[in-house]
Amino acid sequence: MKTIDELGDLRGKRVLVRSDFNVPLDGTTITDDGRIRAALPTLSKLLDAGARVVVTAHLGRPKGTPDPQYSLAPVAARLGELLGKEVPLAGDLVGESAKDTVAALGDGEIALLENVRFDARETSKVDAEREELAAELAALADAFVSDGFGVVHRKQASVYDVAKLLPAAAGDLVLNEVRSLSRATTDPERPYAVVLGGSKVSDKLGVIANLLTKADRLLIGGGMVFTFLAAKGHSVGASLLEEDQVETVKGYLATAEENGVEIVLPTDIVAADSFAADAPHQTVPADQIPDGKMGLDIGPASGELFGAKLADARTIAWNGPMGVFEFEAFAGGTKAVAQGIVDATANGAFSIVGGGDSAAAVRKLGFDEAGFSHISTGGGASLELLEGKTLPGIAVLEN
C-alpha cells in the first residue's frame, strides 16, 4: 500500500481523510474517545506537512438522511481539544457548506464534514450511486488518505470508490492495523492462542472455521460458549443458545480434534436469575447450569484456566468479552482474560485486542493499553482479517 510519504509534497494540497469516529455517545457526551485519539498521528502528520485536511467520517446508523442525534458536532469539539486547534464542522457533506468550509482552509488547517451516512449513496449497493457521491467528495480534495480501519471491510463511497478517483494512500493507523494483524494471520509465532467471546457463534462462523486451520488453541467464552456446551450434550438452562448452530459447532469440535487444535471451554459459569446488573447469581459447574438460570460470565476457575492456557503463548488474538462486563458482577471473566494477556505480553507474547467490545472492555476495566501489543480500532474489520478475507478498502489501496 502507498504511504502518506509517497504522496509527495502536500503543502497547500487538500487531503480528504476517511477516519473512523463512530464513538459511543451518552446524549452529546462522548463516553470513549479511543477512536478519535487513534486518528491523531495521521492527522497531525498531514497538518505538520502543511496540508489542508478535510475529514469525513460516520457516526451511528442515521439511515441515509440527516439526523441531529448523529451529528458529528461532539466529535469536532473533542478533536479540536485533542489537536489544540479549532476544527470547524461543515453543515453538510458535499453541499454549499462543505464547499465553503473547505475553501476557507489555510495550510495546516483542518475541517470535518458532516456525517457521511447522512447521504444514502454512501452505503448504496448500486455502484453508480456510490460512485456519484465519491466524485462529489473527490471534487473537494487533491488526494485521499484512508485511515478508518473500522470501515475498510465495507465497499462504501468514502472508503472504496473515492480511492479510485484521487491519488490514494493508507494512513498510519491503517498501516499499523494491517501490519499488526498480519502477524496473527501470516505465519504467527507459536503457540498461537485465540480467545473468542461475544454473544453469538453465528457472528464468528468464518473466523472459527479459518482458525481451526491456523491456531494452536481456541479459548471460548461469552454467550457463544453455551452453543459449544450444548454441542457437548450439556444443558445450558436459560442461557443464550443458538440451537440452529449446534450441529455446526459439533463439526468444529470434530475438526479441531482432527487438526490437533485445543478447544478450551470454561469449567464453571456465573449463572444469574435474570439479565440485570443486580440479579441474584451463583457460580456453578459449566455442565450443571440449573434450569431457568442464565450464564452471564465464565467463573473464577475458568478465568484461572484461561490465564494458564495463555501463559506460554507467543501470539494471542482476542475478540469478544467473556461475559456481560458492563455489569460489575459479571466482569470477572473478562478481567481474568485481559490480565492473562497482559501477563503473557510482558513475557514476550505478541497480543492483539480485536477492537469493538474487547477494546471497550480494556478501557472500562481500567487496564493500561500499553500492556497489550496492539489494540485494534475495528471489530468487524479485524474479525474479517482473522477470517482470511480480502477487505475492499485495503485491496483498493493496493491496486
By annotation, the residues acting in catalysis are: 35, 200, 356, 380
- The helix/strand/coil state of 89 is strand
Q: Which three cell numbers stand for residue 235?
A: 444443558
Which residues participate in the annotated binding site for ATP? 204, 295, 326, 355-358
Query: How many residues does the structure list for the chain?
Result: 399
CA dist., res. 53 & res. 278, Å (int): 48
Query: Could you tell me how far CA 162 lies from the centroid of its own chain?
Result: 22
- Residue 287: HSE in the Cβ half-sphere, 13 Å Cα cutoff: 6
| Cβ-based burial of 53 (10 A; exposed 0-12, middle 13-18, buried ≥19) | buried
Which residues participate in the annotated binding site for substrate? 20-22, 35, 58-61, 117, 154
- Looking only at the bridges linking them, the beta strands covering 143-146 and 168-170 are parallel
Residue type, 227: T
Q: Can you list the positions of beta strands (E) in the chain?
A: 14-18, 25-26, 29-30, 52-56, 110-112, 143-146, 168-170, 192-196, 217-220, 262-264, 268-272, 281-285, 294-298, 315-319, 350-353, 374-375
Residue 130 near residue 124 (C-beta atoms within 8 A): yes
Which residues participate in the annotated binding site? 20-22, 35, 58-61, 117, 154, 204, 295, 326, 355-358
Contacts of 235 (CB under 8 A, 6+ apart): 288, 289, 291
| Torsion angles phi and psi, residue 356, rounded to 5 | 55, -135
Local structure of residue 52 (DSSP, 8 states): E
Which residues participate in the annotated binding site for (2R)-3-phosphoglycerate? 35, 117, 154
Neighbours of 104 (CB within 10 A): 11
> What strand order describes the sheet that includes 294-298?
281-285, 268-272, 294-298
